[in-house]
Amino acid sequence: MLDKLQRALGLKTNPTIFFTSAALAIVFVGLSVLFTDEVDRTFRGASEAVKTNLGWFYILGVTSFLGFLLWIAFSRFGHVRLGGKDARPEYSNIAWFGMLFAAGIGTILMFWGVAEPINHFANPPLSGLNGQVADLSESAGSSEQFAQRLRELPAPEGAAGPLSEQAATEAIGFTMYHFGFHTWAIFTLPALAFAYFAYRRGLPFRVSSIFQPILGDRINGPIGKIVDIAAVIGTLFGVAVSIGLGTLQINSGLNGLFGIEIGKSTQIAIIAVVTTIATISVVLGLDKGIKWLSNLNIGLAVGLLLFVILAGSTVFLLRGVIESAGTYLSAIVPLSFWNDALPADGWGWQGSWTVFYWAWTITWAPFVGIFVARISKGRSIREFVLGVLGAPVAFSLVWFSVFGLSAINIEWENPGSLVGPVVQQGDTATALFAFLENFPATEFVMALSVFVVVIFFTTSSDSASLVVDMLTSGNTLNPPTRQRVFWAVLEGVVAATLIAATGQEALQALEQVVTVIGLPFFVIAYLTMYCLVKAIKQDVPEEELLPRRARVVLEARRNSD
């Protein structure tokens, strides 16, 4: 039946994966609209249970992924090329980095570049003052009064007090922990596995392909299809959360620029515009669409970064970037294992931040992983790992240092100007624009920032559409355009329907869903490490595992004989 439907619609896909994934997504949207409270209550309870009982599993998992990647990169397996020993990269390093950046973390930089450091500056994670800060948010009057009362909160001995210099250092350390090597380890691990099994074994770009060393031909059976369907649903939900957050940020920027009302109708219109641009990019294809938008966006983002450096406290920021690198490197080991086991005021801070981030990020892992694998043929495992981990993290360090330290400096000089809207009022979507009000040419820079946000979310949407279609299309690397268009539109419909149904509350409910859905993805990631090593040992001859110089010497000896 599904095969007949596929032929009738002119599709070229795996009908079971395609139609089941689409149906489940549509059913979930319908249930969210009709039974919002019930769906929210179910997933909220499950989410709290996961955070309380399995948060440690998420923390240990991401740290394990990072350790594994560093080991495999510097081991003898690091010499293996993705595509064979004679394969070479299809894209230049600059173009490769641009696509990595836009697909994986560009949206996060724009949304959290100011919001996260300011949150941690006002509410230091290690101080145990989470409950007291929340109470102050409700009881304090003006933003200035809120900032003053934050400074008066007594912190435990040795802990950072709110809005202190120690809190500023801690804020940068935690922000980089969340968006540095650990985030990119979540993306890099599946990306490496996808690339290996696609280019060395000729398997399709599907999550199930990773498990061939365990399942064999059963990856094409029911078990493999269930894995792929779960990956599609996780990707759709992860992208929907990001589209929702981006919509709120764009709406906030347009409100500040033109007084456009913040509300459902405006947000749905924004989603429609972003989805339309993403669809056009999908139709143009990888090289003309995503690549062009990615390169444009990286240029605009760098321009915005340079503006903040030059128009702000330049010397302070340049010194701060270097100091932030040291802060991050000194904090990464203890934070990698910190589990908030002894919260000072009941339920700990980490469940609402780190555990949620890791769960949300890992739902993006199939999407970003397959996309990165798709553009990385010909690179060695060592080059792949160090490139995918190194370049985006280096840029993220500079970005969060500049924006985070600038925001902290502004708050020091103008108490309440940022902690008021971002922390007291909880409006993280407006953080970037409240920040830019303190710079010259405010309206122009805010307009540019809105444009950059739109393009970042567009590239994420069209990249996700391409990847989801690859997940559902079996062995077809370039399926019909109409299929990619379908997924681009469905991503927009999911986000728009949720906003139309219940507004921001629906997005909060979806975040709970993502936290729960992240759990099986962690199990898959653990198995991925085992499958990858087993496959390399089975496939790659000893000679190819030798360093390049040793291979050249060996080849010369053979020729002389």
pLDDT in tens, 484-527: 888 888 888 888 877 776 555 555 666 677 788 888 889 999 99
Most confident of 140-149, 200-209, 322-331: 322-331
Task: Give the angle subtended at the CA of 82 by the CAs of 80 and 87, to the nearest 5°.
Answer: 95
**Mean pLDDT for the chain?**
84
Q: Is the pLDDT of residue 347 over 70?
A: no
Using 50, 70 and 90 to split pLDDT, how confident is the model at 152? confident
pLDDT in tens, 161-219: 999 999 999 999 999 999 999 999 999 999 999 999 999 998 988 899 999 999 998 99
**Nearest CA among 375, 390, 392, 447 for reference residue 102:** 392
Q: Is the pLDDT of residue 122 over 80?
A: yes
Q: Which two tokens stand for residue 176?
A: 């980089």
Share of residues in the chain with pLDDT > 70 (%): 88
Identity of residue 68: F
**Which domains are delineated in the chain?**
2-123+172-337+358-544 (1.20.1740)
Share of residues in the chain with pLDDT > 90 (%): 32
Which of 127-136, 319-328, 341-350, 435-444 is least confident?
A: 341-350
Contact indicator for 149, 140 with CB cutoff of 8 Å: yes
pLDDT at 154: 86
Task: Give the angle subtended at the CA of 538 by the CAs of 535 and 543, to the nearest 5°.
Answer: 115
Most confident of 44-53, 214-223, 253-262, 397-406: 397-406
pLDDT in tens, 72-107: 999 989 989 898 777 788 888 877 876 676 555 667
Stated pTM of the model? 0.88
Using 50, 70 and 90 to split pLDDT, how confident is the model at 345? very low
Contact indicator for 73, 382 with CB cutoff of 8 Å: yes
pLDDT at 363: 83
